[in-house]
Chains A and B, each alone.
Chain A
Amino acid sequence: MERGCFVIVKYAFSRFLRSLVTLLIVTAAVFFMLRLMPEEGYFAESYDKMTRGQIEAELTRMGLRDPLHVQLSNYLKNTLRGDLGTSNIVRRYVPIVQVIGPKIPYSVGFGLTTIAISLALGIPLGMLMARRKGRLPDSLGSAYVVFVRAVPAAVCFIFLQLYGSSFLKVPMLFSLSRPLSWILPTVCMALGPTANYAMWMRRYMVDELNKDYIKLARAKGMKNSAVMSRHVLRNAFVPMAQLLPASILLTITGSIYVESLFSIPGMGGLLVTAIQRQDNTLVQALVLIFSCVGIVGLFLGDILMAIVDPRIKLEKKGGSR
């Protein structure tokens, strides 16, 4: 057991270092890519009226005429201090930290709710489908999975918004004071991850059910419910842990579209606004934040899997597989 703990800590440390390197690469890549953008992105509507000299003066003031490596090191230093620059178009001269700050609770709240709901619904659905394989619950569940995975979310959510809001008799857009209007965005965001969990849970359980030791357990006269809870579920849950980080990425992606569609004042919606209005610094900051969430999510997921997977604790003899 001691040894197992040590292995996990060592693994976590090396995995953490790798995440850090990834983060550095991503930061630099985003920085260089956005340097290629047209300069209008640093000015509001006044760009056309300014003279060449004014533009140059303003760009120099912002430090955009410095050599690239100076810019990059300044940018990295500022980011480490928590200064992401100032928004130039969406909210002129307002520090980005202040623009984004009030939006974080919405995104985090919706994201966590989505993950909780999709886990709570998707896993039981997958279990039900595996138990009633080839019968009505299985075919209904499979139809749901095919529907969600095949019909593009971009189309599906519009119809959910249109007909769901008239069905629930709520306004189409999100409003903080009416909890009923929170339902539809959450449903939209949970639709995809739920189908994913159900599909994989069913697949892992069916795989497990076909193995020889299950046949032996059945032959011994073990009850079906006992076989399910003691053998099948426990083993099927290990690969499921691997899915959690991927679903965090999926939730981030979903949030960009859903938040914008329902006008939720979160970060995803803000990214769409920033892109539409070509606010370079804001796009850069948001892309960095979303990548960070992705990197942290995958890191935590990998650590979780290392803890859940029983094979890692068995490695008392040391040495790699």
Chain B
Amino acid sequence: MSGFGAATEGRDELFRFAQYDDAAAEGVAYSNYSYWRSTWRIFTRNRGAMFCLLLLCVLLTFTFIQPFLPGQRSPSAISNNEMGRPLRNLRPNADYWFGTNAIGQDLWARIWSGTRTSMFIGLSVGLWDAFFGVLVGSLWGYVRRLDRWITELYNVVANIPNTIIMMLAAYMLRPAVGTIIFAMCLTGWLPTSRYVRNQVVVIRDREFNLASRCLGTPVRRVITKNLLPQLVSVIMMRMGMAIPLAIGQEVFLTYIGLGLPVSIPSLGNLVNEGRIVMMSPSLRYQLIFPALILSLITVALYVIGNAFADAADPRNHL
């Protein structure tokens, strides 16, 4: 019994009763949580994704400053030797780092110019997918009257293989950068809008939305302020897939003869030119270099998109 008493005495010294404090009762909890800062912190923890981001930044920066560097050739100029003959199929050397192609154009200049074209196509399609997919998806999920109509429309279009729609559109239009982007934009937003719609349906009836509706907040404001921040993760994942997909589709369209004219270098054109000469092992560099650059870009984008989607998901914060 005496031991027990000693323990209580000890506890008196360790713990003291708190006094009622008026100021503390009125105090407001403060958290320095910021969504974007938190997202970025989690993203930087992913080493592989950070490496990909660095790689992509270096590649893209280089692509855009390359034409202004000294000693660069024009991607469409045909190089001639002293005799006035074109330097055809020159293997990579000190002068022509990536060699020359079948008609004597500098592959190094063509690859960077092609990367610009392909990135432009990919980014345009990706941004349109995100914008239009989110627009349709949030209306589809949020406005109940539209639900039936858009679902029916989606069911019709989703039954047809996307590639067929894209091929048909590209077949009907004259090949140019604009028409290729248009053909890809026709179907790309469909999966995005479905993902967004499913997310919106989940979030729509949460309490904070109910409160906003009761207070008479307009639909537009509810969508932009309450819903979209919750969708960043889904959107980023789709963008990370849509851009590589568009770059790949450009290669496919070029292969079936619906791509850009040869006068506009693009990664699709270059891969296709390389594929034509791939049977002779000494010319394979013409296929390998553009394919390598293209794969680096698409893999980096895919990994970044996935890692960012993980980091942007509020459930992964804290």
Contact = CB atoms under 8 A, between A and B. Distances in A.
B8 interface: no
Interface stretch (B10-18, B25-33, B165-173): B165-173
A22 B291 contact: no
Contacts of A271: 167
Contact of A26 (B156, B172, B255, B287): B156
Given A18-B155, A154-B248, A276 B294 contact: no
Contact of B160 (A159, A275, A283, A291): A291
Interface of B: 155-156, 158-164, 167-168, 171-172, 241, 244-245, 247-249, 251-252, 255-258, 268, 271, 275, 278, 284, 287, 291, 294-295, 298-299, 301-303, 306
Contacts of B155: 18, 22
A276 B257 contact: yes
19 contacts: A21-B156, A22-B156, A146-B302, A150-B299, A150-B302, A150-B303, A151-B295, A152-B294, A152-B298, A154-B252, A154-B268, A155-B294, A158-B287, A162-B278, A249-B162, A275-B171, A275-B258, A291-B161, A294-B161
Contacts of B248: 152-155
Contacts of B160: 26, 290-291, 294-295
A7 interface: no
Contact of B251 (A154, A159, A252, A272): A154
Interface stretch (A30-38, A44-52, A100-108): A30-38
Interface of A: 18-19, 21-22, 25-26, 30, 33-34, 36-37, 146-147, 149-155, 158-159, 162, 249, 252-253, 256-257, 260-261, 271-272, 275-276, 283, 287, 290-291, 294-295, 298
A132 to B, nearest CB: 20
B160 to A, nearest CB: 5
A142 B104 CA distance: 42
A272 B256 contact: yes
Contacts of B156: 21-22, 25-26
Nearest to B300: A150
B171 A260 contact: no
A283 B257 CA distance: 14
Contacts of B247: 152
Contact of A287 (B164, B275, B287, B301): B164
Contacts of B158: 298
Which of A18, A19, A287 has the most chain B CB atoms inside 10 A of its CB?
A287
A26 B271 contact: no
A162 B271 CA distance: 13
A260 B299 contact: no
